[in-house]
Amino acid sequence: MRVFVTGASGWIGSALVPELLGAGHKVMGLARSDATAAAVAGAGAEPVRGDLSHPDTLRAAATEADGVIHLAFDHDFSRFGEAVRTDAHVIETLCGALAYTGKALVVTSGTPAVPGHVATERYESLPDSPGGARDANARIALAASDRGVRSSVVRLPRSVHGPGDRHGFVARMIDLARQKRVSGQVRDGSARWPAVHVMDAARLYRLALEGALAGSVLHAVGDEGVPTHDIAEVIGRHLNVPVESLPVEDFGFLGQLLATDQPASATVTRDLLDWRPTHPGLIDDMEKGHYFDA
């Protein structure tokens, strides 16, 4: 297949492009700068110059492709609302380009927090859950299955970890611990985060592209729920700083995420696509030390 990928040079995209190429696909990657274009070309993909604000570019690339994987998203949480609106416009553009073609469209959301439950693919995301805002956008893509698009959504957990992660939530927790000389947790740290290794997530995106049924909701979850205390404890030990409970406000936007118990499972996903995570879980991956390299 000829696959158009937005976010091809990003954290997950950098793992996805070789995953797709290794499976025999050809890849076109959206590139908004010369540096990004060079990175995409260096990975073996064809750069498509443009960004998420260029609907004509997105429409043309999607039309040329046999399938689309949409990863790109502005993770500057100071303008999260704007990023969500842009994401909605992008998904609408891609759905329009792929309508009545039977081509695959895989978009991205987050696993929901369901009070008192382990979230599954069958649960509806709640408006105030960490994945709630993007989940509404994912529904735009899922609805396009009624217009002949083989659309699916991959919901990502709170941590997509692995060597090279410098901007994810765990990396931000480590940065805060370095600044404060304390590895912080909210209350007793019993709130749980789901997690997945970036290589396992990349493989799920490929499997969704190749074989997910229209309207599928998939969970890229390796660890169902890692207590945030366990994350803080590894950080404290590697940085040689104490682990302490800190006010929610001390963590900025991460505070509410650290305070919310949000385990999630991937049982349905594993059965549907025979997806089995094979890379280290979050704690084992952190123990390898690459998160703490200077």
Domain spans, the chain: 2-159+195-223, 161-194+224-261+279-292
Q: How far apart are CA 85 and CA 276, in angstroms?
A: 33
Environment class of 148 (CB within 10 Å of its CB; exposed 0-12, middle 13-18, buried 19+): middle
Separation in Å, CA 281 to CA 77, 159, 163: 26, 10, 12
Q: What is the pLDDT of residue 76?
A: 77
Q: How far apart are CA 184 and CA 232, in angstroms?
A: 6
Q: What is the pLDDT of residue 78?
A: 76
Sheet of strand 192-197: strand arrangement: 159-161, 192-197, 223-227
Please state which architecture CATH assigns to domain 161-194+224-261+279-292.
Alpha-Beta Complex (3.90)
Residue at token pair 């207590």: 227
Q: How far apart are CA 46 and CA 3, in angstroms?
A: 10
Q: How far apart are CA 154 and CA 108, in angstroms?
A: 5
Q: What are phi and psi of 77, to 5 degrees?
A: -75, -5
Residue at token pair 């931000």: 172
Residue at token pair 């200077």: 294
Environment class of 100 (CB within 10 Å of its CB; exposed 0-12, middle 13-18, buried 19+): exposed
Amino acid identity, residue 242?
Answer: P
Amino acid identity, residue 167?
Answer: H
Q: How far apart are CA 220 and CA 270, in angstroms?
A: 9
**291 Cβ neighbours under 8 A, 6+ residues apart:** 165, 170, 171, 174, 238, 285
Residue at token pair 């990023």: 83
- Maximal CA-CA distance, the chain: 57
CATH topology of domain 2-159+195-223: Rossmann fold (3.40.50)
Q: What number of residues does the chain have?
A: 294
Domains 2-159+195-223 and 161-194+224-261+279-292 share a fold: no
Per-residue confidence of the chain (294 residues) as pLDDT tens digits?
999 999 999 999 999 999 999 999 999 999 999 999 999 999 999 999 999 999 999 999 999 999 999 999 987 777 888 999 999 999 999 999 999 999 999 999 999 998 889 999 987 656 555 557 788 899 999 999 999 999 999 999 999 999 999 999 999 999 999 999 999 999 999 999 999 999 999 999 999 999 999 999 999 999 999 999 999 999 999 999 999 999 999 999 999 999 999 999 999 999 999 999 999 999 999 999 999 996
Packing angle, helices 13-22 and 198-211, rounded to 10: 50
The whole-angstrom distance between residue 201's C-alpha and the CA centroid of its chain comes to 8
Q: What is the pLDDT of residue 134?
A: 84
Q: What is the pLDDT of residue 37?
A: 97
